[in-house]
Amino acid sequence: MRAWRICQQKYAESAFSGDGAFRYGGRWNSRGTSVVYLGGNPSIAALEVVVNTDDPEDLHRIPYVLIPVDFDEALVWRPDELPDDWNQDPPPPSAAAVGDAWVRSGKSAILEVPSAVIALERNYLLNPQHPDIHLVRFGESEPFKFDSRLGKLWEMT
């Protein structure tokens, strides 16, 4: 399987540390839990960055990179159920509890969850401290540019 990480170029060397999610938390993890967010394809990875960006100029002013991540499906765990409110905005504590419990359980190196942006798309959380992390292959980063037309999304609000 392949997933994708988009991050600011200045963080490319530490893109798989889980430090950002540890410091700030996210939909599927609480502050203090290290995970790395990946998109199931470059498009959803890009949309996840866009919906979490406050200033549309950041998409063009800040250099980004795209990094492929390859892993065997055997490393992935898919929850049987999700909380009813998992896709609410702001993200509810019940969704973070899913990822926190997954990390504590050590069930797998990777958690598959739906994207709150497009529920038919898949996102993946990588546990950087899982013993099977050495089985995950991190590709080379390449520059990633956001299309300037995405700025129109902010005009709609």
Structural domain spans, the chain: 2-147
- Which H or E run contains 48? helix 42-51
What pLDDT, in 10s, does the model give residues 117-146? 999 999 999 999 999 999 999 999 999 999
pTM: 0.95
If we measure between CA atoms, which residue out of 39, 46, 137, 27 comes closest to residue 93? 27
- Residue 60's CB is within 10 A of a number of other CB atoms, namely 14
What pLDDT, in 10s, does the model give residues 30-65? 999 999 999 999 999 999 999 999 888 999 999 999
CA distance 104 to 127: 10
Residue 75 gets the label, from left (phi > 0), alpha (psi -120 to 50) or beta, of: alpha
CA distance 34 to 72: 21
CA distance 126 to 9: 19
